[in-house]
Amino acid sequence: MSRYPILRLRAERNIRDEGSKEIAAAIEWLLKRAASESDEGRRIATDRLSKLYHAGLMTGDQKVQLGDLLWQHRTASNLPDTPVFMFSGS
């Protein structure tokens, strides 16, 4: 009986690792979509990526890729053209 909590923790860690791999793969797919799509497709992908970013589910490399994608399309004020991440300035 004393080993039961250890076995349960190991099982939960395996489930969490598998889930993390699936989330990472989904984020990579969305990053590719955001880079290759235009207009509505890009907006949807960046919206979903922002939710993943704010949930703390992105790796450091994925955050850098998202930042690069956001800065590729700029408004007249030279800020990222996205309604997802709000910036102040005019």
39: which DSSP letter? T
Tokens matching residue 43? 């907006």
Burial class, 44, CB count within 10 angstroms (exposed 0-12 / middle 13-18 / buried 19+): middle
For the chain, the domains span 4-72
How many beta carbons lie within 10 A of that of residue 66, not counting itself?
22
Tokens representing 47? 């919206």
pLDDT for the residue numbered 75: 76
pLDDT in tens, the chain (90 residues): 445 555 555 565 555 566 788 888 999 999 999 999 888 888 889 889 988 888 888 899 999 999 998 888 777 887 777 765 554 444
